[in-house]
Amino acid sequence: MLFEGKRGLITGAASGIGRATAIKFAAEGAQLTIGDRNLAGLEETAALMAIKPVVQAYDATDYASCRALVDVAARDGLDVLCNIAGLLKWGPSETFSAEDFDLLMNVNASSVFVICQAAIPHLLKTKGVIVNTASTAALQGQPYNIGYSASKHAVAAITKGLAIEYAAAGLRVNAICPGHVVTPMTQNTAPPEGVDWALMMRNAPKLLDGSCEPEDIAEMFAFLASDKARKATGALFTVDGGQLAG
Ligand SMILES: NC(=O)c1ccc[n+]([C@@H]2O[C@H](COP(=O)([O-])OP(=O)(O)OC[C@H]3O[C@@H](n4cnc5c(N)ncnc54)[C@H](O)[C@@H]3O)[C@@H](O)[C@H]2O)c1
């Protein structure tokens, strides 16, 4: 098993990619703390996991609760941190509110930095690993998606910067860039008025059935968080059914 004896923290575990990753890591022997603002969703995830996790609600916009989440997760030491919680809001840039832009930066980027910052002293003791969640939106300009894309470019910068800062201490930091994944985030977000679909669809997956399932992304989390990826740090790993290939 990949994570026998390892202790981990997974955020965003009430749903989608975070839930699939928590289930995968527990099946591989990890003792986890799972965090999200959706407590009922966390409990549902916990019921699906092979090893019962510690369940802890937090709100990514409240940095004190981010730090408290790490304190709980690291009580007996911490080997792995997966930052997966995130938020999507999009629409034509002329009418996109500054408040929503700030919210995306808070939830998707600033809270990731705060959680990494709180976890690093613990991860240095274990020569641990961080896996963040960026997006294909971290790697290109995306129409109608400026706030989200900016927040995910920030995740890429946080990932690469921390990787360099702590590489000599044995801490690895990587990020995954999923393309379109079938989760509540993408299924429940109705397209806003006034988008040009031809512009949007230039980014469609190229593989037959190219949209990813959450489990496809969980596999990459497991690989990067395990010793199998011991030489990978400071890198962005795309899983997108060929969206960015051309
Ligand atoms: N679904 C996709 O196509 C896709 C593509 C690229 C990247 N991503 C990224 O993958 C990650 C997971 O997304 P998903 O598709 O599984 O979506 P999801 O909506 O199923 O899960 C996101 C989780 O984050 C939690 N969350 C949101 N705001 C929070 C807050 N303020 N505090 C605490 N928790 C909060 C939600 O409650 C939810 O459980 C996100 O970072 C997302 O940006 C998703």
Task: Read off the pLDDT of each residue in 49-71 and give the average, rounded to a whole number.
Answer: 98
Shortest-distance atom of ligand 1 to CA 217: 10
> In the prediction, which pLDDT does 202 show?
83
Residue 4: CB atoms within 10 Å: 9
Interval 152-173: pLDDT, tens: 999 999 999 999 999 999 999 9
Q: Ligand 1 centre from 1 Cα, in Å?
A: 27
Check pLDDT > 90 for residue 188.
Answer: no
- For residues 62 and 102, give the distance between their C-alpha atoms in angstroms, rounded to a whole number: 13
Active site residue ranges? 148
Any ligand 1 atom below 6 A from CB of 16: yes
Interval 124-150: pLDDT, tens: 999 999 999 999 999 999 999 999 999
Any ligand 1 atom below 6 A from CB of 135: yes
Shortest-distance atom of ligand 1 to CA 61: 31
Any ligand 1 atom below 6 A from CB of 147: no
Bigger pLDDT: 98 or 187?
A: 98
Domains defined along the chain, listed by start:
7-239 (3.40.50.720)
Any ligand 1 atom below 6 A from CB of 17: yes
> In the prediction, which pLDDT does 88 show?
96
Check pLDDT > 90 for residue 66.
Answer: yes
Nearest-CA neighbor of 235 among 184, 181, 175, 155?
A: 175
Interval 16-34: pLDDT, tens: 999 999 999 999 999 999 9
Beta partners for residue 129, in sequence order: 80, 172
Beta partners for residue 177, in sequence order: 238
Q: Ligand 1 centre from 212 Cα, in Å?
A: 14
